[in-house]
Amino acid sequence: MDELISIITTSYNYADYISETIESVINQTYKNWELIVIDDASSDNSVEIIDRYAKNDSRIKLIINNKNLGLAKSIQKALNYTNGNWIAFLESDDIFTPDSLEEKVKAISIGADIIYTDVEPFQDEVEVQKCYKYLSDVKKLFIKTDKSGFIDNFKNTITKVNIIPTFSVVMLRKNLLESCDYNSISKASLDYYLWAQLSSYKIYYINKKLTKWRMHKNSYINTYKFSWFKNYKFYISLYYQTIKNKPFYIRYLLLLNYMRTRIIYLKINRSGIKLNIGNNKFIFEKSFNKEKI
C-alpha cells in the first residue's frame, strides 16, 4: 500500500524540540508522507528552524499564523493544506520511531478508521513515572489486552477515561476529522473531545511503542487547569457526543442519569458501601470486612 499520509504538527515556541520532531519524520521507513507544520505565532526562532527543513524537503510545508489561534483552529486550518486521505498527528515536542508510519499503514488494510499506538514517555522522570502508572492502569482496566486489535468497548470506555494518551499516537481518516466539532470546553483535552465524537467508528490499537512522548512541565496540557465544575461540564459534553444520534427522549433520560452519576456515585457490594458526592468533595465509606472497597 502506498497511501499518502498527511502529518499535522502544530508548533508554538518549541524551538528546543522541533528539530528532533521533524527529523523523526524524515527518518521514517515509510516514505510517502507530507508534513504540515503550522506555527501558531511563535515568539522564539521556531519558524526559522522549520523553514530550513521546508526548503530542503518539498514534503514539508510551513504554515504561519499571523496571530495565535490556539490548537483547535490551527488543526482545522492545517487540514486545508493536506492532500492525503489519512491524517497522522505529531506534536512539536514528540518523536516518531522510524517504523511509526509503516506500522500504522498496515492497519489500514484491516479496515480500521482510527489507529492509535502504545507510547514511550521520556524526559522529566517525575512526570514519566506518573505517566507509566496511568498507562498501566488504562491497560489493565480498560484496554484489557497486551495484543494489537480492535477496541470493542471504546464507546463505553471513552466516557470514563481517555485511553488514547496523546495526539501523537493517532492516525485516522481525514473525512472523520472534517466532520468533528472542535468547540471543546477544555482546550487541553481537545483530543479527548474529538475521540468521543468518533467513538462509533472502528478503532484499532497497535501494541507497539511507536511514539516517544516528551513529558515536561511546560507541555500544552499542563498550561490549563480547570475547576471541578468546568471539568464536570466537560465530561457531560463528552457523554452527549456518544449518544447524540439516539432519539430525543432516550437521549434526555440517558443524559440526566449520567449527570447524576458524575455527582453522586453509590457502590454497594459484599465488601461494603461507598458513596461519592461532588468528585470526592464528600465520601462516606462503610466496610463489612477488613478489605478496602
Which tens digits make up the pLDDT trace of 266-293?
Answer: 556 666 666 666 555 444 555 655 544 3
| 240 SS3 class | helix
Average pLDDT over residues 104-120: 96
DSSP letter at 140 equals I
Q: Is the pLDDT of residue 121 over 50?
A: yes
Is the Cβ–Cβ distance between 233 and 150 less than 8 Å?
Answer: no
Across the chain, what does the average pLDDT equal? 89
Where on the phi/psi map is residue 149: left (φ > 0), alpha (ψ -120 to 50), or beta? left
24-80-48-16 Cα dihedral, nearest 10 degrees: -40
Residue 86: which of 65, 107, 70 has the closest Cα? 107
Higher pLDDT, 213 or 230: 213
Which pLDDT score, from 0 to 100, does residue 222 have? 54
Strands (E), the chain: 5-11, 33-39, 60-64, 86-89, 95-96, 114-123, 149-150, 170-173, 203-215, 264-269, 272-277, 282-287
Residue 82: which of 190, 191, 168, 4 has the closest Cα? 4
| 84 SS3 class | coil
Which pLDDT score, from 0 to 100, does residue 216 have? 78
Average pLDDT over residues 214-237: 75
* Cα–Cα distance list, 217 to 62, 83, 140, 255, 282 (Å): 27, 34, 27, 35, 30
Domain boundaries, the chain: 5-228, 247-293
Task: Please report, rounded to a whole number, the percentage of residues in the chain having pLDDT higher than 90.
Answer: 67
Average pLDDT over residues 100-126: 95
Which pLDDT score, from 0 to 100, does residue 143 have? 81
The CATH superfamily assigned to 5-228 is Spore Coat Polysaccharide Biosynthesis Protein SpsA; Chain A (3.90.550.10)
Average pLDDT over residues 15-19: 97
pLDDT digits (tens, 9 = 90+) for 42-76: 999 999 999 999 999 999 999 999 999 999 999 99
Which pLDDT score, from 0 to 100, does residue 124 have? 86
Average pLDDT over residues 200-218: 92
What is d(CA 230, CA 227) in angstroms, rounded to the nearest whole number?
A: 5
Per-residue pLDDT band for 137 (boundaries 50, 70, 90) equals confident
* Cα–Cα distance list, 203 to 108, 111, 115 (Å): 11, 9, 6
CA atoms within 13 A on the CB side of 173: 15
